[in-house]
Amino acid sequence: MENIRPNMFSNIPQRYVGTKRADSLFFIKVQVASTDYKVQIKEHLVNNCGIRSKAVDKWFQAVTVATGFTAVEVENFYYILTCAHLFEYFYSAEIKVDCDKLNSWFNILIICQHYESDMIANHPNLYADPSNDPRFYSPARIVKLDQSKDLMLLKVSKRYLYGNHTMQLCQMPHPVLSLATVKPRPADDIMLVSWPPCRKDSVITGQLVARDRVYGQLTQYLWKGYSMHLVELNVVGGAGCSGAPVLSHQAAVIGLYHGRIESLGYAVSAADIYEFCLGAHQL
């Protein structure tokens, strides 16, 4: 029974999909690289992006996190796909984001599933006080960002990807998640696989509602200039779920979770992801 490839309405898909994606997820955290940069960042956001000073102060106090997954693997590097709106204050329809500044101002930090599993085994109180974080994160950098599609690609060296609490390098595979080659249909089974803070291996199952929405159909708030095609879902993720893969019953990526609008969830389509990732191996 374990070796049977599931059909759409079997009882096996969740287990099958779970085994296919487990090692491909990453937890992503963003923090200001130095307190000295806070003045520069605040001036930039207030003067160039129209963000209120109090909103910037509140953002500094928050923990900015997302989920990511392996999109490309080239020699000693993984390319991790996630959402651009980790830096949503830095762009709008009229303002283009500056990736060089983001890489300079912020530390983009990641951990893999194997590292977190080792930490759980060796730190029994790991989740007792989330503000006291004993993890050693691996560094990543932005190599591509499309603010109009809410997509961002991070590059991570295997030489700095920790696999356990002693900071030994991770020797386990982090397989690329393949994009769906067939468009999903309404009522198809889907699975949102994410990594919110302190909740590794979070899974929500549901169905696809519609496969080709655009922002103007969903909201009047168009000031970000989003132009991606969205897959509409009857599942909603919480904080930290953005950037997570939405998978078909065959473990193929049909979208990247963008967020909630009204009572439904939305994901950037596989077609937009494919176009965005073209040539990524050369970055």
- One pLDDT digit (tens) per residue for the chain, 283 residues: 445 455 554 555 566 665 567 799 999 999 999 999 999 999 999 999 999 999 999 999 988 999 999 999 999 999 999 999 999 999 999 999 999 999 999 999 999 999 999 999 999 899 988 888 999 999 999 999 999 999 999 999 999 999 999 999 999 999 999 999 998 999 999 999 999 998 998 999 999 999 899 998 988 888 899 999 999 999 999 899 999 999 998 889 999 999 999 999 999 999 999 999 988 777 6
Instruction: Give the separation between CA 208 and CA 193, rounded to whole angstroms.
Output: 15
The residue with tokens 């977190």 is 116
Q: Is 158 exposed, middle or buried (0-12, 13-18, 19+ CB in 10 A)?
A: middle
Q: Choose the final residue of a domain: 96, 129, 160.
A: 160
Q: Are residues 120 and 208 in the same domain?
A: no
Burial 118-140 (b: 16+ CB within 10 A, else e): bbeeeeeebeeeeeeeebebbeb
Instruction: Determine whether 52 is exposed, middle or buried from the number of CB atoms within 10 Å of its CB (0-12, 13-18, 19+).
Output: exposed
Q: Is the dihedral of CA 75, 116, 110, 22 positive or negative?
A: positive
Which tens digit of pLDDT belongs to each residue from 135-175? 999 999 999 999 999 999 999 999 999 999 999 999 999 99
Q: What is the pLDDT of residues 93-107, one digit of tens each?
A: 999 999 999 999 999
Q: Domain of 211: which CATH number?
A: 2.40.10.10
Domain total in the chain:
2
Same domain? 89 vs 210: no
Is residue 6 a part of any domain in this protein?
no
**The whole model's pTM is what?**
0.92
Amino acid (1-letter code) at residue 133: D
Q: Are residues 29 and 156 in the same domain?
A: yes
In the structure encoding, which two tokens stand for residue 89, read together?
Answer: 């204050």
Scanning the chain, the segments in alpha helix (DSSP H) are 13-21, 37-48, 53-61, 99-105, 113-122, 215-218, 270-277
Q: 74 and 100 in one domain?
A: yes
Angle at which helix 37-48 crosses helix 53-61, to 10 degrees, equals 140
- Look at strands 138-146 and 106-112 and give their pairing: antiparallel
Taking the C-alpha atoms of residue 128 and residue 184, their distance in angstroms, rounded to an integer, is 41
Residue ranges making up the domain that contains 245: 13-22+177-282
Task: Kindly tell me the burial class for residue 90, based on how many C-beta atoms sit within 10 Å of its own C-beta (0-12, 13-18, 19 or more).
Answer: buried
Instruction: For residue 1, tell me if it sits in a domain.
Output: no
Residue 212, domain member (yes or no): yes
CB 182 within 8 A of CB 208: no
For residue 129, the model assigns a pLDDT of 86
